[in-house]
Amino acid sequence: MSSFRAKAMRAITGAWFRSVNAEKADVHRMRRVWHGLANTLWTASGVDVRRTDFAGMRAEWLTPQAPARGKAMLYLHGGAYVFGNCATHRQLVSYIARSCGVRALVIEYRLAPENPFPAAIEDSLAAYRALRDEGYGPGDIVVAGDSAGGGLVMALLLSLRDAGEEMPAGAVMFSPWLDLTASGESMTTRAKRDPWFKPPDMPIIASYYCEEEEYRNPLVSAVFADVQGLPPIHIQVGDDEILLSDSTRIAEKIEAAGGEVTLDVWPQMFHVFQVFVHQMPESREAIGKLVPYVRSWLHIGGSSDS
């Protein structure tokens, strides 16, 4: 059974999301509001926040006390490709950085609809390559992302593989958006349980990012990709979200291709519930569960600070 705090956050956030009319929504106004409210979120204690310009983008380095030397996490924020910045994900990533004991870089990739596909992928590649140029080896980097950011994680991995470049040590995805065609069975089976999203709205949201003929492009919807040759992947997803099938299908494909993947489905949880790590015990527990994977991939010994 979910905690009282989880039920409260589900009700509060669900009321806001369900009130949005996707057909009439002003994306730019919503972005300003959401980005402004994000400044009220907490940052994990003991984590230093340093704003910087990285690969030509605004970015932040989140550094815990005594981080593992020479290791880094590249975090690609979610927000349906149209929202999100360092502030919206500072709370979540600061807790991940502290728990894993590793520096984390959050970049502000270009957003749609002003900068549609493939701009965000190009920026993600630029950030990864810039980390390599700064001396981080592929085995020293983990990539992570939530929702659309999870889609970017997959697009980044596929792009690196196809370009013959060395890939990161591993990848983490929270509730990844991996099917812009909205063809997963959870669009039906979870439609009444998802407190945030309505299935009819998904094509409208997808249209901000790319044209409909691109929806099945593997770099847009990784559920249609050849997933051979990818690094280890850890996926966390809520059992009550309409995007559940995006995670289950990609996990099945990776397993069938002989890859290493862990799928962690959380009962009664909603989309990217980990973002409320300061407010919900389930979120803190979920972050704690990914720590052994990240530290193992990066060959970091000892325990972490949760």
Sheet holding 103-107, edge to edge: 48-54, 57-63, 103-107, 72-76, 141-146, 170-174, 233-238, 261-266
Per the annotation, the verdict on 77 as an active-site residue is: no
Per the annotation, the verdict on 212 as an active-site residue is: no
Per the annotation, the verdict on 241 as an active-site residue is: yes
Structure tokens at 105: 């870089």
User: What's the CA gap between 241 and 247, in Å, rounded?
Assistant: 11
Options 2, 89, 124, 241, the catalytic residue: 241
Options 77, 245, 271, 283, the catalytic residue: 271
User: What's the CA gap between 220 and 57, in Å, rounded?
Assistant: 22
Other CB atoms within 10 A of residue 27 CB: 17
User: What's the CA gap between 44 and 278, in Å, rounded?
Assistant: 8
Other CB atoms within 10 A of residue 75 CB: 27
Options 2, 94, 99, 147, the catalytic residue: 147
Provide the annotated active-site residues. Answer: 147, 241, 271
